[in-house]
Amino acid sequence: MHMLQGEALMNDASGLETFKFALAAAMTGVFSMASASLTFVLVAVGGLAVGVAR
């Protein structure tokens, strides 16, 4: 059960970050792969840490 909850946290966070970057790119016409990648990695690591801590 803990594994599923941790995975759900990571999936939710990564989906929200991906949507945020897609929306920002659509609205501004600007997309930074470096910034998106860094933020995605930070969110993924944070989600994993919270999942492990639970």
Helix runs in the chain, H state only? 2-28, 33-53
| Full domain range(s) for residue 23 | 2-53
pLDDT mean across residues, the chain: 80
For residue 50, pLDDT over 90 is answered with no
**What does the pLDDT read at residue 13?**
73
Distant-in-sequence, close-in-space partners of 51: CB < 8 Å, separation ≥ 6? 2, 3, 5, 6, 7, 9, 10
How far apart (Å, rounded) are the C-alpha atoms in residues 21 and 8? 20
Mean predicted confidence (pLDDT) in 17-27: 90
Domain count, the chain: 1
For residue 9, pLDDT over 70 is answered with no
